[in-house]
Structure 1
Amino acid sequence: MAKKFPKLTKLFFFLVLAAMAKLSHCAWENCGVTEETQLTLYFHDYSNGPNATVIPVAGIAGREWNFKQVGSVYVIDEPITEGPERDSPTVGRCQGLFVTASFDGLNSHVVLSIMFTNEAYNGSTLEIQGTSKQFEQTGEVSVVSGTGKFRFVRGYASFKTVFWDEVTTYAILQVDITLRHY
Structure 2
Amino acid sequence: MASSLAYTLCIVLCICSLQTAVTAKKLEISFYTHEIRGGPNGTLLAAAGTGAGNFSALGWGSFLTIDNIITEGPNFTTTVLGKFTGFAVMTTKGGLLDGGILVLDQFRFGPASKYNGSSISVTGNLANPPPGPWEVIVLGGTGYFRGYTGYAFSEPYLPTTLAPRFVYKWTFYLKK
Match of residue 165, structure 1, among 152, 162, 167: 162
State the alpha-carbon separation in 2 of the partners of residues 61 and 123 from structure 1: 35
CA deviation after TM superposition for structure 1 residue 136, in Å = 3.3
Structure having the larger proportion of residues in helix: 2
Unaligned runs of 5+ residues in structure 2 are 1-15
Q: Is 2:135 the partner of 1:140?
A: yes
1:97 is aligned to 2:77? no
**Are the structure 2 counterparts of residues 67 and 180 from structure 1 closer, same or farther at C-alpha, using a change threshold of 3 Å?**
farther
Size of the aligned set, in residue pairs, is 151
Q: Is the 8 A contact 1:58 1:65 kept in 2?
A: no
Runs of 4+ in structure 1 deviating by more than 4 angstroms, as ranges, are 64-68
Find the aligned partners of 2:25 and 2:169 in 1 and give their Cα distance: 23
Work out which of the two has the higher radius of gyration on C-alpha atoms and give 1 or 2.
1
- Relative to structure 1, the CA distance from residue 56 to residue 120 in structure 2 (aligned partners, 3 Å threshold; closer, same or farther) is same
Superposition RMSD in Å: 2.4
Contiguous gaps of at least 5 residues in structure 1:
1-22, 24-29
**Correspondence 1:28-177 to 2 at 5 A:** 33-60=23-50, 68-106=58-96, 107-117=100-110, 118-133=112-127, 135-163=130-158, 164-166=161-163, 169-177=164-172
TM-score (norm: length of structure 1): 0.75
Deviations 1:61-80 (A, max 9, x none): 99x66574011111101110
Tell me if structure 2 keeps the 8 A contact 1:155–1:180. Answer: yes
Between the aligned residues of both structures, percent identity stands at 27
